[in-house]
Structure 1
Amino acid sequence: MTDTGTIFKIKVTLQGIEPPIWRSFQIQSHKNLHELHQTLQAVMGWTDSHLYAFTQGGRYYGDPDDFEDLEAIDARTIRLDQVIDGKGSELNYEYDFGDYWQHELVLEEIVKAGPGRTYPICLDGNGACPPEDCGGTSGYERLVEALRDPHHDDHIDMWLWVGDNYDPEAFDVDRVNEILSRGRNVVSFSLRQGQYLAFIHNFTQTNGHPPSTGDMMRHFGVTRSSVSNMMTALEGLGFIDRIPYQPKTVRVLVPPEELPELD
């Protein structure tokens, strides 16, 4: 939205990864912490599929219903400028309590909004966001190692899981700002993921039921574990849904007009 108030320039860095994955962005100081969470999901490239919390000085901010053993302050009731209010102020952001992604936020600059300027806005960054559910920093390191080594035992499976256009070093600030301008976290699928989605859709339209794992193995010439990894990834990203442990129940949630054409 357009704002004429105080603007915070913040740098967020994902901890435990080298080279660093970071983003620099501007956001209105009056935004609440849940809105900050939504902005962080967009600028980093996460899919908002897991729980989160902000921590500072022993205090937890998030959704109180998500914390059974801790007293968490409702993130929707706390403004950003109530927890960081001076240059150099820090705030910790935890995302996915299984993979345990830790982000350090540092307030770098306080400015006045420019006339007609729209916020939040991403200014710069480095590195692609790790794939969801890849196993935290250690799992991410193994993933990158497998992708970079064609002779690695897991190279093909990892390549099929993340898609052939995943580049750990890639960052597109224009794409991030496109997502921010829509006011929601929009996730795009890779070429390989799109091929699976299109095949499932076309197979279902032609045969009156979704394909089995065997149908996908034969079509793509891959192993059962490769298909399983791909289905898990697509489901985690919200592109499909299915009934667990029941064959031929997969359903594509992406509009048909957004799917690629198969050769």
Structure 2
Amino acid sequence: MKTFTIKVAIRGVSPMVWRRFRIAAHTSLAALHYIIQIAQGWDDEHLYQFHIYGKDYGIAYEGGMGFSDDPYLVTLDDFGFDVGDRFTYEYNFFENWLHDIRIETIHDNSTQKSPFCL
């Protein structure tokens, strides 16, 4: 199974707040959102979006933002990431909590369990 090691860091916070994860390449964006929520101790009370290669992804709510793709069906592997690639995750649009996400390593044929917080 292909896995990614990613680092998620909240932008503009000192000292730096970050988490490192090992996740399967078939992890959906919706699942990644929930993984980040759990690791940060948050309760999924706010809207969110990922910004990847110039496009926004998130869950569309009536009266809220609309997205053309279902985040439960879009996986990390769909993007063809390479080591060093970056994208962002924005949570709580009122507080503008912007997270920088970087692909640190890619492992093919990994037998390690995921998701896993490193």
Normalized against structure 2, the TM-score is what?
0.88
Aligned residues: 117
**Separation in 2 of the partners of 1:10 and 1:121?**
11
Q: Distance in 1 between matches of 2:85 and 2:62?
A: 26
2:75 match: 79
The structure whose Rg is larger is: 1
Which position in structure 1 is the counterpart of 2:93?
A: 97
Greater RCO, CA 8 A, separation 6+ = 2
Identify unmatched segments of 5+ residues in structure 2.
Answer: none
Q: Percent identity?
A: 34
Aligned partner of 1:7 among 3, 15, 18: 3
Structure 1 residue 73: Cα displacement = 2.4
C-alpha contact 1:59 1:72 (8 A) present in aligned 2: no
Instruction: Measure how far apart 1:83 and its partner are.
Output: 2.6
Find runs of 4+ consecutive structure 1 residues off by over 6 angstroms. Answer: none
Pairwise mapping of residues 47-196 of structure 1 onto structure 2 (< 5 A)?
A: 47-65=43-61, 68=64, 70-83=66-79, 85-111=81-107, 112-114=109-111, 117-123=112-118
Q: Distance in 1 between matches of 2:103 and 2:63?
A: 27
Q: Give the gaps of 5 or more residues in structure 1.
A: 124-263
Secondary structure in 1 matching 2:72: helix
Post-superposition offset of 1:113: 2.1
Greater share of helix residues, 1 or 2?
Answer: 1
2:28 maps to 32
Q: CA RMSD in A?
A: 1.8
Structure 1 range deviating more: 51-60 or 16-25: 51-60
TM-score (norm 1): 0.42
Matched, 1:17 2:23: no
